[in-house]
A = this chain, B = another copy of it.
């Protein structure tokens, strides 16, 4: 057996995410891309970051900015996050917060913390592809999380067989890939289920700040706090990210949870990469303090208009038999095309004939179902381009 064969088994567990290949598509000339779920770079607070990095590299802070730092994260940023979490209904302390390299890293650590081979993770059907990739490394079984559904704890537990249900993962606000939001009743039902199953809840808040209309719904963690009184009694773990609001390229996210969970994740982080980049945490802290409160309303206006343009264009150009979600925020609209139409084939055809890109929906299902679905992102195109692209997509679907 060669050295490489030694880990062939290990490697085959990890499904190659399609995101990387898709990012490459975006560089082709003339393509209208609704594929990547990425922010519009024209909206980055670049001047704020230029000032922040200049400060961090000035005489007072440079020694700290370029040096090793502690695994928990930069204290002033964690202090800002205590205030931020309070503003969305979550009362917590500094020791309940860990800075991670994007919320993706939090998902990896939570997989490592909770999952042994054969354990069950409850996820949406479809769900975020990156969560499936992160959890897959730890060889779980995925079961379909049915919120407000007709499956009770006993049924989940029976289905889990030998392995235990370790957590339910969800992105309750404007989820990737569907754009859908779990309503208040659904969040409460989820907490009931988690209590019955005695499992954790991983709440992915990546899009939480990007609401374009409708009333904000408290995070699942806020609802559990209201029930239990203290974060130390909560089973919900909140994963936040600056990637969709300030910059993904700096790789700064955070986790909020009971202290024992944070303590274990700090040890994991220390063993896995020591700490997230010091200077990036300092820059995010400065930019968040300077402009988070004005930057987010701007993003909501711009992305909200793009969402409107996409929904209008879908209304105008989609043939009968095509259905789509009406997201109140985030970056995505989810299309269900007639059964028998394959999303991957549709992508090949759309690229070839009208130069429109999107993500076939099948990749977001743990079992590879949902082949007649596609994900469209509206965040990185202006309204005219959105209208043109959706019109073209309508032509392909009619053909």
Interface residues of A (CB under 8 A from B): 1-4, 6-7, 10-11, 14, 16-17, 19-20, 23-24, 36, 38-39, 41-42, 44, 46, 49-50, 53-54, 57-58, 62-71, 100-102, 104-105, 108, 112-114, 116, 130, 133-134, 136-137, 164, 166, 198-200, 235, 243, 247-251, 258, 260-261, 264, 267-268, 270-280
Most buried by B among A67, A70, A133, A264: A67
A57-B50, A70-B23, A279-B250 as given contacts; A136 in contact with B63, CB under 8 Å: no
Contacts of A249 in B (CB 8 A): 64-69, 277-279
Say how far A365's CB is from chain B's closest CB, in angstroms.
Answer: 17
Say how far A358's CB is from chain B's closest CB, in angstroms.
Answer: 17
Contacts of A53 in B (CB 8 A): 50, 53-54, 57
Other A-B pairs, 4, CB within 8 Å; known A20-B270, A46-B63: A4-B258, A10-B114, A41-B64, A137-B272
Closest B residue to A194 by beta carbon equals B3
Contact of A19 among B67, B136, B264, B270 (CB under 8 A): B270
Contacts of A54 in B (CB 8 A): 50, 53-54
Are the C-beta atoms of B279 and A133 separated by less than 8 Å?
no
CA distance in complex: A73, B169 (Å): 29
Are the C-beta atoms of A14 and B271 separated by less than 8 Å?
yes
Are the C-beta atoms of B271 and A251 separated by less than 8 Å?
no
Contacts of A247 in B (CB 8 A): 66-67
Are the C-beta atoms of B271 and A137 separated by less than 8 Å?
yes
Say how far A220's CB is from chain B's closest CB, in angstroms.
Answer: 14
CA distance in complex: A62, B10 (Å): 38
Number of this chain's copies in the complex: 2
Contact of A277 among B41, B116, B250 (CB under 8 A): B250
Say how far A310's CB is from chain B's closest CB, in angstroms.
Answer: 21
Contacts of A130 in B (CB 8 A): 271, 274
A251-B277, A274-B130 as given contacts; A44 in contact with B16, CB under 8 Å: no
Say how far A249's CB is from chain B's closest CB, in angstroms.
Answer: 4
A53-B57, A57-B50 as given contacts; A102 in contact with B274, CB under 8 Å: yes
Closest B residue to A108 by beta carbon equals B272
Are the C-beta atoms of B248 and A67 separated by less than 8 Å?
yes
Contacts of A134 in B (CB 8 A): 271-272
Contacts of A1 in B (CB 8 A): 198
A14-B267, A53-B53, A261-B4 as given contacts; A274 in contact with B104, CB under 8 Å: yes
Contacts of A268 in B (CB 8 A): 14, 137
Contacts of A275 in B (CB 8 A): 251
Contact of A41 among B3, B58, B67, B136 (CB under 8 A): B67
A66-B250, A275-B251 as given contacts; A7 in contact with B108, CB under 8 Å: no
Contacts of A276 in B (CB 8 A): 101, 251
Are the C-beta atoms of A68 and B113 separated by less than 8 Å?
no
Contacts of A14 in B (CB 8 A): 264, 267-268, 271
A54-B54, A57-B50 as given contacts; A10 in contact with B113, CB under 8 Å: yes
A54-B54, A249-B278, A270-B20 as given contacts; A200 in contact with B66, CB under 8 Å: no
A67-B41, A248-B68, A249-B279 as given contacts; A11 in contact with B264, CB under 8 Å: yes
A4-B258, A249-B67 as given contacts; A271 in contact with B46, CB under 8 Å: no
Contacts of A36 in B (CB 8 A): 68
Q: Which 3 A-B pairs have the closest CB atoms?
A: A41-B63, A249-B278, A133-B271
Contacts of A100 in B (CB 8 A): 273
Say how far A73's CB is from chain B's closest CB, in angstroms.
Answer: 12
